[in-house]
Structure 1
C-alpha cells in the first residue's frame, strides 16, 4: 500500500495552513496514497500566545479540521491529521494537543490527546513548558485503518516506550508519530528513537514532521521518516517542505515477528530488587 507524508513549515495563519493541507491531500490522492500523514500542529504553529489565541477554537468550530475532513471526503483518502491546538469544551484554561484519524468519507474515526508534554531546558538555551498551555491526555488510542491497527501518538511521546508497548500489546502493527522536533533534539535522537520503536515491536513507524525556520522564530528538524518492522528507513524527507511517498507491505509485520518474536517473549516485570 502507498502512503504519503506531508512535511510542513506551518505558520501562524490557519487559513493559509488549511489551504496548504487541502493541496497536499489532493496531491496525495492523485499519487495513489491510501492515507496521508501530517505533522504535529498542522493547523497553527505560533509561540506568540496572544496572537495564537485569536485563532484558537474548540473541535466543533475549528476551520482547519472541517477543511481537512471535507478534502478527505472529496479526494477519497484517509488522513492522519497529526495534531491541532484546540480549546477544551470544558475549559480549565489550557488547550489540548489533539490528533485525528479521518477516513475517506471525512468521518473522524479516532482522536488522541498528547499524553507526554515537553517541559525541558535545552543546552542551546531553549526552554519549553508545554504543560503551562496544554492539558495532558490520559489514554492511548489504537484504531482500525486500511493499513492495519494503528497506534496514535504525538512527538514527545516518542521517548516513552511504555506507551508503544501498550499499543503493540493491543495489536497495533503501525505507529504514527507526528512531530515538531527541535533541531538539537532531532539531530541527537530522532532517527535512533524512531528506528528503536519500530524494531522493539516489529511494526511500521510513520513520522510526519515540521521542518525549517517558522514565522514565530522556532526551528524544527524535519526528516519525516517511514521505518519498516526490521528498522530499515524506507523514506527520509530531509529538511525541505513537501510531499513524500512510501510503499509499505503490511505482510512484513508477520514476517519480521516470525523471524524475531520479541513480542511473544515479553514478560511482566515487577519492580526490581534493590541491593545496597
Structure 2
C-alpha cells in the first residue's frame, strides 16, 4: 500500500497549479502509489490581499476543484487534496482537506479547525482568520486502499489532542498537508511530525509547499513521511519542486508496535478529560491556560 507525498510551489495561477499537480500524479502512478497527497493551498496561493483568496473561492462541486477530481479519474489515483479554498460566504472561505477516490468522487471533506493567526517579529504576518471560517468537525477518519486515514491540515500539527482523537478512532496514517513558513519550519517541522507519529503510533504523511510563491510568501518544504516509531522514511528537502517521496504502509508493523507498547490502552482518558476541559480553575491557572 504505497503513498506518494507531494511537494510543489503553488501560485495564484490555477492552470499552472493544475499542471504541476498533474505532473505529481504521473510521478506517483509511475512509482506504484495508490494515493497522492497534495499540500495545503495546492490550487491557489495569492498575494497579500485577503480579498484575492476569497474572490477565487468556489464550492467543491464547481471548478477548479472539478479539475482535480478529473486528475484522480485520469490517473486512477486516490487524492488527498490538502487545503482547498471552499466558499463559505461572500467574505469568507473554508480551508478544506478533501479526499477524492480513484473514480473522482469526493469521499470526505475536513474543514481546518485551527487557524494560523501569527505575527513573527521581523518576519511574516499571517492572519488566516481574515479570510477563513474554522470548521467544527474533527477526528475525521476515512477508509482507503492505503489504510485508515486521519485528516488534519497544517497548523493542526501543534494540537496533539486532535491527533490522539484520530488514533483512538482507528487512524493508521495521519495526513498533515501544509504550507509552513520558513522560520517555523526550521524550528519545529521535523520535531512535531515525528512527535505526532510516536504519540499516535501512526504513519504521518506531510505534503508541503516549498519555495517562493510571491514577493511576500515563502514556504519551508520538506514533504515528509514518518513511520510509527518516529523514523523519517523520506524527506523531499527544502528546494525540489515539483517532487514526490513515497512510503509503504505496513499494517503488520503497526500491529506489532501497538501490541508491544499499547499506548492507547494505557491512556487515562478519565483523568485527562478532567485536566483538559475543567473550567473550575482559579484566575492564575486560567490565565496560564489561555495565554
User: TM-score category by the smaller chain?
Assistant: over 0.9
Report the Cα offset of residue 86 of structure 1. Answer: 2.1
Q: Distance in 2 between matches of 1:71 and 1:24?
A: 10
1:1-276, aligned counterparts within 5 Å? 1-49=1-49, 50-63=51-64, 65-88=65-88, 91=89, 93-140=91-138, 141-239=140-238, 240-241=240-241, 242-268=243-269, 269=272, 270-271=274-275
Deviations 1:97-139 (A, max 9, x none): 0011111111111101000000111133321111111000101
Q: Secondary structure at the match of 1:42?
A: coil
Q: Secondary structure at the match of 1:251?
A: helix
Q: Which runs of 5+ in 2 are unaligned?
A: 285-291
TM-score (norm 1): 0.93
Report the Cα offset of residue 26 of structure 1. Answer: 2.3
Q: Distance in 2 between matches of 1:8 and 1:150?
A: 22
The aligned length equals 273
Report the Cα offset of residue 142 of structure 1. Answer: 1.0
8 Å Cα contact 1:26-1:71 kept in structure 2: no
Q: Distance in 2 between matches of 1:146 and 1:112?
A: 19
Q: Secondary structure at the match of 2:19?
A: helix
Q: Distance in 2 between matches of 1:124 and 1:150?
A: 37
Report the Cα offset of residue 4 of structure 1. Answer: 0.9
TM-score (norm 2): 0.89
Q: Distance in 2 between matches of 1:45 and 1:131?
A: 16
Q: Secondary structure at the match of 1:59?
A: coil
8 Å Cα contact 2:176-2:207 kept in structure 1: yes
Deviations 1:35-75 (A, max 9, x none): 00010000001133344455322222231x21111121121
